[in-house]
Structure 1
């Protein structure tokens, strides 16, 4: 064809190209001068909408560096276009820019594990090459954009752990390349979408905890590649469709926490030949547990707890067993057949079995000797609340890996086997409420790691073995309601670890209480009632500073109540009835904030007090003391006779003699005050404190010199009422000096509160105050300061939210150790200090770290020392206002409730959740009823750990593994630790105070977690 014939086509082509370019330019948000310019400007537009405190995107500001070299940007080799963005785990805030849709060559977007918010931009639909979209563990809101379905090459779609709402777009069913679809932990609706039946390449699908509702559609016939299916927590009803049970590729099935009904298929072993996890707890399944399930050679985890399953448990013979966890509790498997426990024989080949839970299953009969043939790695065995009879097999001593054994609330008889002393790893041993007889075996003293021992409600006799004193970690000991005799071993009172309860009540123990009882300073409850103990109460009992409940009734104690009991300010309930106590009722009982006091049937005499607990006749019992008089009228006691002689002086004369000298003294003082020209110094200890201890004076000049004139270069922190400076004394000692701002309302009160609280508190995990001082500065102004030991590693907030990226991130072990330090400090303040102290402002910035990263609780400016009226009015309103910081203050403070120890526990729970998730309670994501507590609580039931601080998680979303001292990988142990940490944080921050954990339980759980993380081969933690 000639050139002249090509000309029309040439011009037409030019017109079409020009037209297309004009239209395309109008549709683009960014002007284009070249492909590289498009991507560069799109990246800069993305950066402009993101707050980057850790500097992940700092290289994006460098115009001299090719954008393909920017951190997190991956370009293709051929066209130098952006093909992947990796912004995961960067601590990013802000929103995702619509300009991301201009990166037309993008194949992967990884922005998970951040705090991004706002809508997911619909412009993502332009990215037709996109194969991977990971936006999970952020704070995105709105709905899943329908435009995503234009990304026809999408293979991985993970938007879980956000705040998305609305219906899952039906058009996702057209994404035929999808192999992973995860939208769990959002607030979606519309039921399980039937379109998932069209995604034939799907390998993982999870709508966990979305509360979708409805029934499960029978659409799984074509999903031949599906390996993981999770629909737990969706309020599903009806039955499980047959097509789901026929997926031969399925490895994990989670349908927990629904309302599903029906029976489990009998041939599940053959229809699901690769199944590793079957998790059905908290549903309404009925019928038997098919033998094919427990007999499966591939099954790792079976959890069908809290259903209505029944019938005999059967395991068919097989050559291999992979089971690690079997949870069958709260069903009706008992059938009253002689061999109903024979299935235990079938579990003996499961060499990796770690957890076996069979409580509340209605089972009965004898416990077989084959229990001892179970795996030596078995750490938890729960057979509680059934109808088992006969003896506890001695073979149980062969389960050397046990950390928890519970056979309580059964009908077991016989003696306790000596082999129980072989359970060297046991932490919790619960044998209560059976009919065990004979003596407590001395071998129980071998259980040096035990923290709880429950042997109450049995028929045990003989003496308490002194070897029990070797259990140096014991925090709870219950031997009540047995037939134990003899004296209480003194060695038992050397267990300074006891912090929850010592219950030896309702036995036949005799002798005197040894003075060593004063060693139990951390114990909150002592029950010695209904024994034959005698003698006087040792004065050392007053050293049990954490004691809340004391019951020594129905014994033969004599003498008067020791005056040292007056120092037990934590006491709430006291029962000394039915003894032989004499003397007058101690007046110190008026000042202790008791809720109840029983002194009946003794030989007390004299005047009954009228204040404190004695002012409420319903809270005190004094019957059976024939020589008492006085008291409140409701006690119906005779009036006390008076032997005082009448005064011969008239009332008028007495008043004159008393008042005139007083007036003269006042006049003299006023005259001297008016004449005095010197500037008076402000008293260092105002009358409100009444501590009896004067403050040590340090001159203003010395502090001025130590801080180089309070220079800003030495300023290390500022608060609402103060500024903190680093100071160096002449001898080289470095201190922290907190200077109060007395011009701000509340500054002086903060000074008083902090000095008084710290004067009443001394503990290694509290900031050490060197002195509180006050005086006049160089300008004649009032000056108050508190001098502390200097903490070289700053505060916890700086380490958790390291915006300048100057500090290394805290490891899991370091965080657990810090949490333990804070718990110990709170336990001391609440239960061990001379007076009960509530901190009222627990948060990361008030947790200071020394050179070894040991935590010290500081800033007691809002602290409250509880007075006697606290326990009588704990739920009454108060006018003191909200104490604490937003996000950390207990919710009951907002409605006027008085400060309490449970308020501190709420703050502690939020603090712990912040340490685990690295999210502040005032994070932008927590709006419209969503809080850090609800965010963590919602996530607790899922198999993944998506809300955990990204620094503890790999980029693939899995938990970072660690190697223990034997070189073995400890993945599952660390995962259980993190889940338990979440549970502690959520339990401590419950909305209602009565449901929150106490410090003793927190310390116990954290110590177990710490031991497990350290790789102690003797420790195993299981999350139930």
Structure 2
């Protein structure tokens, strides 16, 4: 036994000597093995990436050491991976289980990619992990319980995914957590009270989920909590009063829940560091605490859509950092009639950009001090209150205003000339008041004005011709005033008028000029109940996008023009109470979108058609025309006499039919071969979700778009581009399905792209172009600028997905286009381009035509979209276009689809 041990020792000494006399080589071998483990783990991560459009992982190969691969950080001495940062690389695929083999990893940042599938439970093996950011992806499944084994975790950010289930209470066992961000997922259940045990927590963001119950009072035990965000859930009850004692709080956000109760009167004293108080969309009542004037760091105060009442504190002017004061939709006001005197204190708030006071019970005169508010002020909304008196001349000092609304009040006096100084103004609404006097000529100075509402006042005089200078005006509503004279021709020169021209209910005279045909893209014209005369202009037939035409209650004479047969998308046509004569045009029964037709109380004669809108007694009217006959039986009109000439005509028709019958048989075969062309021209039913008359020309707010798209959830994301993302949305109350194109304004060129697309789309309309339903240019709940287009939803997606179909896992669909469908799509796109190049008043060059910008509706009709790079050519552009078009290619970089501009 002793001899055996001796020889074993001798052999061990020789082995050591063979390896160099030390254990150094053994250490080197072990380190090399560990490094290979990291390399294999990274390659396994790469294998799960199905799409890498930015080629972020192109360097991940054997030609470079893995520590030099993009996004990889290693320790210098041991060459072990410590950080993986692939933020905003548009990577699509699964998160590999092998990531758990990177045992020295302490930081993972995969934010803003397209990872899907579950978060691996094995991630709990990363004992050194401190920072985990998987936000803004498409991860599904539940939060892995094993993540709680990462005892060194400081940050967990899983926001903006599709994670379901409840919040694991085990997260409270992580003693070093400082940030928990789980916002914008599909989490249910309640907020774990045990979170109150995480003494290091500074940020708890759970907004935009489906959490229920109440806010646990235990959260008030977190000593350093700075951000508590639970907005957009299903929470209820009374907000625990203990939370208002967390003096460390910087932001408290509980909007869009069902909380009740009152805000403590001493909140400004107990939360002295508060920067944002967001409690809108609840059931809170009581007065606005005066102590808020002591929260000197307050920047955002949002109390909208609650039941707050009483006067507004007059000491809010102490909040010199205040930028956002939104009190819309409450019951604020007193019976004393001096509710707006608090505005004088706000003149000290030099950073104020939004002041929302609409939908309250504020009573009193608008003080002169309103003109001393911040020049940074962009939105001032006073609609639907009980404000009286006149608009102070000082309103013209607010040069930064983009939106000014004072409608639905009791204001009097004249519209001040100084209002023309607001040259940044885009929306002006003074309707439904008691303003008198003339419309000031200075309105023509507001060249950026897009919407002007002065309806239902006592305005007099002429319509100022200077309105022709408002080259961005797309809504003009001067209805129900006492305006007189002719409609200035300058109004009809506004090719920007694409939504509505409303002049009804005035004393306007003269003719409706042929210049009305210059409004080729307008959707609504209202000149009813005036004193206009003459014939209905033939040029109205050039307004091919017209959906609503109201000419009733005037003195128009002559016949109904035959040129109106081009108004194929007309939905409401009212020509009643005029002096029109002649027969009812037969083409009216062919208008398949016509929902209401009123020809009553004219001097029309002849046969009433029986098809189309005439078949519906509630949708059409011919009352008061004593010479008409025929029609559907329920009208009980006299039968139309059959004259001898009609009998001879019928006999002649029969003879002609017999004579050409043989020729028709011979041509039958040829007609079959070209039948698809005829079939292509037949009207096809549009998608019902966007054809409803009442869904057009609506206003839409940022909050409505946020709700419609489930807070711009990634599950609603249907496309993205260089400057924008497109989400599927459902707008209340009609549950209209739309596509919401949201501009990424942080991307350089996005604002220019938005302006370009609006400029292009407001002037064009064609059945093969994507229709814009409305737009939104506003401020989001963070105070950032927000711009979006609301588009007609295309259920069959883009042509790109049909030509190159892929599932999320990379496998191909059995989704094919037939030869006829491909030909029809090609014809649709060609028709759109022909219209853009030759039939627009201002030719449009798309400059980014490719399969992904060709969308297909429910009937597989193609629609060209995305005009962010489009160019409008005036005559002066023709030479420069010819000189430069071959030198620069806009749009897609690298591959250019056949037929791209």
If the length of structure 2 is used for normalisation, what is the TM-score?
A: 0.74
For 2:776, the equivalent position in structure 1 comes to none
For 1:86, the equivalent position in structure 2 comes to 85
Secondary structure of the residue that 1:133 maps to in structure 2? strand
For 2:184, the equivalent position in structure 1 comes to 185
User: 1:5-84 residue pairs with structure 2 within 5 A?
Assistant: 34-54=33-53, 55-62=55-62, 64-84=63-83
Q: In structure 2, how many angstroms separate the alpha carbons of the residues matched to 1:283 and 1:347?
A: 26
Q: In structure 2, how many angstroms separate the alpha carbons of the residues matched to 1:121 and 1:507?
A: 69
**Greater CA deviation, 496-505 or 161-170?**
161-170
Residue 74 of structure 1 deviates from its aligned partner by: 0.8
Q: In structure 1, how many angstroms separate the alpha carbons of the residues matched to 2:221 and 2:291?
A: 25
For 1:245, the equivalent position in structure 2 comes to 244
Q: Which has the higher contact order (CA 8 A, sep 6+)?
A: 1
Summarize the Cα distance change of 1:270–1:888 in structure 2 as closer, same or farther, 3 Å threshold: farther
For 1:812, the equivalent position in structure 2 comes to 750
Q: In structure 2, how many angstroms separate the alpha carbons of the residues matched to 1:483 and 1:97?
A: 72
Contact 1:841 1:885 in 2 (8 A): no
For 1:686, the equivalent position in structure 2 comes to 674
Secondary structure of the residue that 1:467 maps to in structure 2? helix
Q: Deviations over 1:835-883 (max 9, x none)?
A: xx999866274999xxxxxxxxx94557899xxxxxxxxxxxxxxxxxx
In structure 2, which of residues 766, 769, 791 is the aligned counterpart of residue 828 of structure 1?
766
Secondary structure of the residue that 1:438 maps to in structure 2? strand
For 2:877, the equivalent position in structure 1 comes to none
Query: Does residue 274 of the first structure (1) align with residue 265 of the second (2)?
Result: no
Residue 617 of structure 1 deviates from its aligned partner by: 3.5
Contact 2:269 2:294 in 1 (8 A): no
Residue 59 of structure 1 deviates from its aligned partner by: 2.4
For 2:299, the equivalent position in structure 1 comes to 300
Q: In structure 1, how many angstroms separate the alpha carbons of the residues matched to 2:599 and 2:74?
A: 83
For 1:605, the equivalent position in structure 2 comes to 605
Summarize the Cα distance change of 1:334–1:494 in structure 2 as closer, same or farther, 3 Å threshold: same
**Greater CA deviation, 278-287 or 579-588?**
579-588
Q: In structure 2, how many angstroms separate the alpha carbons of the residues matched to 1:344 and 1:666?
A: 81
Contact 1:107 1:132 in 2 (8 A): yes
Residue 494 of structure 1 deviates from its aligned partner by: 1.2
Query: Does residue 573 of the first structure (1) align with residue 528 of the second (2)?
Result: no
Q: Deviations over 1:301-326 (max 9, x none)?
A: 11010111111111327655111111
Contact 1:545 1:832 in 2 (8 A): no
For 2:551, the equivalent position in structure 1 comes to 552
Q: In structure 1, how many angstroms separate the alpha carbons of the residues matched to 2:497 and 2:232?
A: 39
Summarize the Cα distance change of 1:474–1:886 in structure 2 as closer, same or farther, 3 Å threshold: closer
Secondary structure of the residue that 2:370 maps to in structure 1? helix
Contact 2:298 2:319 in 1 (8 A): no
Q: Deviations over 1:110-132 (max 9, x none)?
A: 12222222222222222221111
Residue 815 of structure 1 deviates from its aligned partner by: 5.4
Q: Deviations over 1:510-566 (max 9, x none)?
A: 112222111111111111111111122222222222111111111111222222222
Q: In structure 1, how many angstroms separate the alpha carbons of the residues matched to 2:125 and 2:213?
A: 34
Q: In structure 2, how many angstroms separate the alpha carbons of the residues matched to 1:497 and 1:616?
A: 36
Secondary structure of the residue that 1:497 maps to in structure 2? coil
Residue 627 of structure 1 deviates from its aligned partner by: 2.1
Secondary structure of the residue that 1:94 maps to in structure 2? strand
Residue 168 of structure 1 deviates from its aligned partner by: 2.0
Residue 362 of structure 1 deviates from its aligned partner by: 1.2
Residue 296 of structure 1 deviates from its aligned partner by: 3.0
Residue 475 of structure 1 deviates from its aligned partner by: 0.7
Contact 1:462 1:484 in 2 (8 A): yes
For 2:137, the equivalent position in structure 1 comes to 138
Q: In structure 1, how many angstroms separate the alpha carbons of the residues matched to 2:525 and 2:682?
A: 32
Residue 619 of structure 1 deviates from its aligned partner by: 2.7
Secondary structure of the residue that 1:212 maps to in structure 2? coil
Q: In structure 2, how many angstroms separate the alpha carbons of the residues matched to 1:245 and 1:106?
A: 39
Summarize the Cα distance change of 1:139–1:519 in structure 2 as closer, same or farther, 3 Å threshold: same
User: 1:404-443 residue pairs with structure 2 within 5 A?
Assistant: 404-443=403-442
For 1:102, the equivalent position in structure 2 comes to 101
Summarize the Cα distance change of 1:635–1:304 in structure 2 as closer, same or farther, 3 Å threshold: same
Q: In structure 2, how many angstroms separate the alpha carbons of the residues matched to 1:840 and 1:75?
A: 47
For 1:622, the equivalent position in structure 2 comes to 622
Q: In structure 2, how many angstroms separate the alpha carbons of the residues matched to 1:654 and 1:408?
A: 62
Q: In structure 2, how many angstroms separate the alpha carbons of the residues matched to 1:540 and 1:254?
A: 56
For 2:207, the equivalent position in structure 1 comes to 208
Summarize the Cα distance change of 1:820–1:468 in structure 2 as closer, same or farther, 3 Å threshold: closer
Aligned Cα root-mean-square deviation (Å) = 4.1
For 2:226, the equivalent position in structure 1 comes to 227
Q: Deviations over 1:242-301 (max 9, x none)?
A: 332122222111111111112112222222122111111101111111112255321111
For 2:885, the equivalent position in structure 1 comes to none
Secondary structure of the residue that 1:285 maps to in structure 2? strand
Residue 504 of structure 1 deviates from its aligned partner by: 0.8
Secondary structure of the residue that 2:95 maps to in structure 1? coil
For 1:352, the equivalent position in structure 2 comes to 351
Contact 1:424 1:446 in 2 (8 A): yes
Residue 138 of structure 1 deviates from its aligned partner by: 1.8
Contact 1:86 1:109 in 2 (8 A): yes
User: 1:972-991 residue pairs with structure 2 within 5 A?
Assistant: none
Summarize the Cα distance change of 1:458–1:451 in structure 2 as closer, same or farther, 3 Å threshold: same
For 2:711, the equivalent position in structure 1 comes to none
Q: Deviations over 1:625-652 (max 9, x none)?
A: 222223332222222333306989999x
Q: In structure 1, how many angstroms separate the alpha carbons of the residues matched to 2:393 and 2:830?
A: 53
For 1:265, the equivalent position in structure 2 comes to 264
Summarize the Cα distance change of 1:276–1:198 in structure 2 as closer, same or farther, 3 Å threshold: same
Q: In structure 1, how many angstroms separate the alpha carbons of the residues matched to 2:225 and 2:770?
A: 57
For 1:786, the equivalent position in structure 2 comes to none
Q: In structure 2, how many angstroms separate the alpha carbons of the residues matched to 1:654 and 1:565?
A: 28
**Greater CA deviation, 115-124 or 103-112?**
115-124
Contact 2:44 2:98 in 1 (8 A): yes
Q: In structure 1, how many angstroms separate the alpha carbons of the residues matched to 2:45 and 2:100?
A: 10
For 2:733, the equivalent position in structure 1 comes to none
For 2:168, the equivalent position in structure 1 comes to 169
Residue 797 of structure 1 deviates from its aligned partner by: 8.8
Contact 2:259 2:283 in 1 (8 A): yes
Residue 608 of structure 1 deviates from its aligned partner by: 2.7
Query: Does residue 843 of the first structure (1) align with residue 842 of the second (2)?
Result: no
Q: In structure 2, how many angstroms separate the alpha carbons of the residues matched to 1:581 and 1:390?
A: 45
Q: In structure 1, how many angstroms separate the alpha carbons of the residues matched to 2:143 and 2:192?
A: 14
Summarize the Cα distance change of 1:639–1:133 in structure 2 as closer, same or farther, 3 Å threshold: same
Q: In structure 2, how many angstroms separate the alpha carbons of the residues matched to 1:143 and 1:228?
A: 24
Summarize the Cα distance change of 1:506–1:203 in structure 2 as closer, same or farther, 3 Å threshold: same
Q: In structure 2, how many angstroms separate the alpha carbons of the residues matched to 1:272 and 1:860?
A: 64
Summarize the Cα distance change of 1:241–1:658 in structure 2 as closer, same or farther, 3 Å threshold: closer
Secondary structure of the residue that 2:339 maps to in structure 1? coil
Q: In structure 1, how many angstroms separate the alpha carbons of the residues matched to 2:750 and 2:653?
A: 73
* Structure 2 residue ranges without an equivalent (≥5): 14-29, 687-718, 725-746, 772-791, 804-823, 832-850, 869-901
Contact 2:723 2:749 in 1 (8 A): no
Contact 1:527 1:552 in 2 (8 A): yes
